[in-house]
Structure 1
Amino acid sequence: MTVQFFCPRWGQEHETYDAFCRKVKDAGYDGIEAPVPDDEREKEAMMNALSRYDLLLVGQYYQSFEKDFQQHIAAYEKHLRNLMEAKPVKIDSQTGKDYYSFDQNKALFDLAEKLSAEYGIPVAHETHRNKALFSAHNTQSILEQVPQLSITADFSHWCTVAESLLEDQADALALACRRAIHVHARVGHEEAPQVNDPRSPEWERQLNAHLRWWDAILEHHRERGASTMTVTPEFGPLPYMPAMPYTREPLASQWDINIHMMHLLKQRCR
């Protein structure tokens, strides 16, 4: 099985698409994970850079801002279609709201499934705070009721919501690992969704917990004969990245940490 690694656009928005994609290619990634601009000139610049540097795209939906459900689902369809027309290998979607009802969130999942079938592009719904899949226990219930649902595994969020490393939610984790088709490789801890530096020894326990979960996802894909798996090392910039008070100086380099995580996971995938 081939594991493809994607670099997040998040935190690198100050770079032009060409400069960003050149850096990504030189660093050894297979592609980028990014939203697709609505502006046609920006979109053309993005697609040209991806083609120039022979990079793949995981499209990213995060714009779940509307409280009113009818406005929300209309915007959701617009954003998903914009992403799918860029022909990404898959879409990571921060779907729904934690305060929407099951039926409302399921209507969003059903719409994504319909569009996925129309365009032939899989959608992975992200396990993200504030969204439909905000916690381990809630996601377990949804996955049991929606057996076709696929997810992006970002378990750092669940650690924060549960204020634990999910030691007492093994069944929920096992089910989530079986349904994950994309991974956000960020290490969270009991009080926040991102450790300041996963290379630092004080985070060894948290890092090892996440590595076990990611190993389980990859092993499941191997067992079912999948040809590829996609991973985005997704440590973020401020305010995800802790910083010094007053100066707001980041405690570590987002870029360097994500490259470190890519190399660490490449070694484990051999």
Structure 2
Amino acid sequence: DLRLTLDASHWFLVCERLLGTSAAEGNRGGADDTVTDVESRILASLCERVDHIHARIGTPESPQLGSMPFPGGSSWENVAAAAHEQLWLQVWRNRVAAGCEGVSAPPE
């Protein structure tokens, strides 16, 4: 019953890739789909236990962006922002399904 805080920016930084995403493969130099699938399943399992989100966006090279990337752009920062958003949405959906009314998520 361990509950977690999602701090994806640091998870991505420490692992030096965007875990569980197709963008992660580029950082690994061609990892196979099995690795990405395993990471995705692990992240999904972790997201079921999240009660609090550290809502900062980081990359595999930086724990926090200095500013939000331009929407619709193709920069690495946009890819990282999309990876964070995907995880946050997964947490919010899990919390709603569990009957919770909210998730704490301070911006940093």
Q: Which has the larger radius of gyration?
A: 1
Within 1, Cα distance between the matches of 2:101 and 2:90? 16
Q: AA paired with 1:157? A: H
One of 184, 202, 220 as aligned partner of 2:54: 184
Q: AA paired with 1:150? A: R
The count of aligned residue pairs is 87
1:173 positional shift? 0.8
Q: Which residue of 2 aligns with 1:163?
A: 16
1:196 positional shift? 2.3
Q: Which residue of 1 aligns with 2:80?
A: 206
1:195 equivalenced with 2:65 (yes/no):
yes
Q: Which runs of 5+ in 2 are unaligned?
A: 21-35
1:1-270 alignment runs, 5 A limit = 148-167=1-20, 168=36, 169-200=39-70, 201=73, 202=75, 203-234=77-108
Within 1, Cα distance between the matches of 2:47 and 2:67? 24
Runs of 4+ in 1 over 6 A off after TM superposition: none
Q: Secondary structure at the match of 2:53?
A: strand
Q: Secondary structure at the match of 2:80?
A: helix
Identity value in percent: 32
Query: TM-score, structure 1 length as denominator?
Result: 0.31
1:227 positional shift? 2.0
Q: Which residue of 2 aligns with 1:112?
A: none
Question: Relative contact order: is structure 1 or structure 2 higher (C-alpha 8 Å, sep ≥ 6)?
Answer: 2
Within 2, Cα distance between the matches of 1:217 and 1:186? 15
Q: Secondary structure at the match of 1:230?
A: coil
Q: Which residue of 1 aligns with 2:32?
A: none
More strand by share: 1
Q: Secondary structure at the match of 1:233?
A: coil
